[in-house]
Copies of this chain bind each other. A is one copy, B any other.
Amino acid sequence: MSVTVVGSIAFDAVQTPHGGRERMLGGAAVHFALAASFFDDIRVVGPVGDDFGDDEYAVLRGRGVNTDDIEHVAGGKTFFWSGVYHENMNSRDTLETDLNVFETFDPKLSTESEAADVLFLANILPELQLNVRKQCDTAKFVALDSMDLWINIARDALVAAISEVDCVILNDSEVALFTGEREVVAGARKIMEHGPSSMVVKLGKYGAALVTPEESFWIPAFPVDFVSDPTGAGDSFAGGFVGCIAAHGGDATVDVLKLAMAYGTAIASYNVEEFGTERVARLTGAEIVQRVEELRRITSFDTPEVALKG
């Protein structure tokens, strides 16, 4: 199998209550690719500028990620985002967004990227997501991320893109914005009416929910001792989630989806322990498996009979 991810490649500047970085490798496609690289062959499609150099390529290639479809825009600058996290770490303010080469990004997929068995459409303009999805017409499993901006200003295009994918990944406030539904399951099912057979609702530091036509599944965030930087947690989750499905041949049965939720959660938990890609870049498969097992342990309970009155 192979996985193609299309999305942003960025430099990020972040400040959190625990410190900050002036400039670190980031972007949805990067965080996704590093996380997914534990499961399958990954190809990244996204634009960079002249400031994107050997050190950045080395992080991706160090995890075996194929960078042939990273488009170098001569004379351009790489997407830059800076933000500051609030005390509770579950919300942040964007200080600066310089789209740079990302502003005119028009994904060009090689034959190899088009032939992906599994496709992840990270958060970009919905029209572009739909175009890419049509190019990858043999993909067995396609997942899509989006954001409040597109829900607000490009709803129809987003619906069109959603109608062509298998799984949508949004956070709970985006689901509420999109559907007007306060409850996670009801909101997810409304989105699934457009076509997807499953949906993941991210709950930030509280974990994530999986919704299928028949059931729902809930997993907490892994309780780390210390959160340094939440940047990229959602995309690392998506990388572990989609990667795990790819490792199962793109066959997204409910059992595979649940296991994928655990792998996504485990990798995201490592991501937040250090800044940017620092932790995941040196993560090992054994460490991931350890947290997946731990997640199972901290959520499991037996239900022996209790005699109730009434």
Q: CB within 8 Å of B: which residues of A?
A: 17, 37-40, 63-64, 87-89, 176, 182-186, 203, 206-207, 209, 215-220, 223-227, 244, 247-248, 255, 258-259, 261-263, 283-285, 288-289, 292-293, 296-304, 306-310
Contacts and interface: CB of A to CB of B under 8 A. Distances in A.
Which 3 A-B residue pairings sit nearest by Cβ, starting from the closest? A285-B308, A218-B220, A206-B206
Contact of A185 (B217, B223, B293, B301): B223
A192 to B, nearest CB: 15
Interface of A is mostly: loop
Contacts of A215: 297-298
Contact of A292 (B182, B207, B220, B303): B303
Contacts of A303: 259, 262, 292-293, 296
A179 B52 CA distance: 43
A300 to B, nearest CB: 7
Contact of A258 (B220, B296, B301): B301
A220 B223 contact: no
A43 B184 CA distance: 37
Given A87-B182, A259-B303, A301-B259, A37 B309 contact: yes
A67 B255 CA distance: 49
B226 A308 contact: no
Contact of A227 (B182, B224, B244, B283): B182
Contact of A207 (B87, B206, B247, B283): B206
